[in-house]
Copies of this chain bind each other. A is one copy, B any other.
Amino acid sequence: MSARPIYNFSAGPAVLPEAVLRTAQQEMLDYNGTGFPVMAMSHRSEMFLSILHHAEQDLRTLLNIPSNYKILFLQGGATTQFNMVAMNLAHGFPSADAVVTGNWSRIAYEQMSRLTDAEIRLAAHGGEQFDYTALPPVETWDIDKNSAFVHFAINETVNGLQYQTVPKLSDDLPPLVCDMSSEILSREFDVSDYGLIYAGAQKNIGPAGTTVVITREDLLDRCPDSIPDVFNYRSHINRDGMYNTPSTYAIYMSGLVFRWLLTQGGVKKIEAVNNIKAQTLYDAIDNSGGFYINRIRPDARSKMNVVFQTASAELDRRFVLEAELQGLCLLKGYKTVGGMRASIYNAMPLEGVQALADFMSDFQRRYG
């Protein structure tokens, strides 16, 4: 076994801060002197309610969430939110708008029509299927003012695109609904620009199994009684997020990550580090004289998921395998895209990114 550290570039479930894992390890059998493992606590016990409350409060602090926004930790992943958003917020509306800029917003667009009577309109499209290289500016979105909401994904994990300026709409347009799974907590933004935000935890928040939903309170009036309570935002809010048993341990872990992020100085501080991390990799690509290619337009490059490739699939395969042997792990691109993908969420240290940049340079020397 090598003593070399392992750097995990997985797109999700992704790397977690080592300090957080050590705390979880220490508390595994006895949380905070209670004698109870977190996993064995009733979700209605005061012990767990305190964990949930602190996680919510820390998230509120980190994102400066206004008091007229509610927070839920739901099950089912971002994928379930595609349908919950439509079932809850489009009820009684003629349409809802969707912006398609990559793999996930395309799936959202396709799936969300299945349990709603509203027409799902394509308000903007970023490129041909599996060939997304640019982002349609928010000013060009063809929005119907009568639509229930406008859905988009601010960062596309598979394709490596990200809106560099956080989009917002004027007040006379429908509320923005945003899939922030792969960038929440990575940079500052104004929650009040959004109607509803959701994010699967397994990228920038915690382990897989819980999904954060942040919703403006007045939108809950739209949730129809006719849908099952387990898919109804208002039912969850009315039971303080406990309509059914939540994924308690994933919430606990998310809370530890929130606390870790506060000790790092919060979102503003981690954003500065994230900017350096992304710049380090894009410089490695751009200064390679074409050996490494990133086809995304510079103004749409993701700071969370850096995709790149060499001139051949065979060389890409070799890159991934050799990197793995050096402890630079899970760099293979998404199955439909190929090439490499380095996911560099909050918990990826700068040292890991530097190690990857060094390896890229070394690999190019040997194969360029």
Which A residues form the contact surface with B (CB < 8 A)? Answer: 1, 6, 8, 10-16, 18, 21-22, 24-25, 28-29, 33, 35-37, 39-43, 45, 75-80, 82-83, 111-112, 114-115, 200, 202, 206-210, 226-231, 243-250, 253, 327, 329-330
Contacts and interface: CB of A to CB of B under 8 A. Distances in A.
Q: Chain B CB within 10 Å — which of A11, A13, A41 has the most?
A: A13
Given A13-B42, A45-B330, 5 more contacts: A13-B245, A25-B25, A28-B28, A114-B226, A114-B227
A328 B265 CA distance: 42
Contacts of A42: 10-13, 330
Given A75-B76, A79-B244, A245-B200, A6 B21 contact: no
A244 B77 CA distance: 7
Contacts of A80: 75-76, 230, 244
A333 to B, nearest CB: 12
B245 A202 contact: yes
A82 B306 CA distance: 41
Given A115-B115, A115-B228, A208 B246 contact: yes
Contact of A209 (B6, B82, B249): B249
A231 to B, nearest CB: 7
A16 B231 CA distance: 29
Given A250-B247, A250-B249, A40 B14 contact: yes
A209 B248 contact: yes
Contacts of A22: 28-29
Contacts of A8: 36, 40
B249 A208 contact: yes
A77 B22 CA distance: 28
A138 to B, nearest CB: 27
B230 A83 contact: yes
Contacts of A206: 39
B11 A83 contact: no
Contacts of A29: 18, 21-22, 25
A248 B206 CA distance: 12
Ranked nearest first, the 9 interchain pairs of A and B with the lowest CB-CB distance are A209-B247, A25-B28, A79-B244, A39-B207, A10-B42, A209-B209, A75-B75, A6-B35, A79-B230
A121 B345 CA distance: 50
A207 B42 CA distance: 11
A206 B42 CA distance: 13
B228 A114 contact: yes
Nearest to A111: B228
A250 B209 contact: yes
Contacts of A226: 114
Given A37-B21, A208-B245, A228 B6 contact: no
A40 B9 CA distance: 10
A193 B6 CA distance: 48
A89 to B, nearest CB: 16
Contact of A207 (B25, B75, B231, B249): B249
A332 B42 CA distance: 11
A182 to B, nearest CB: 12
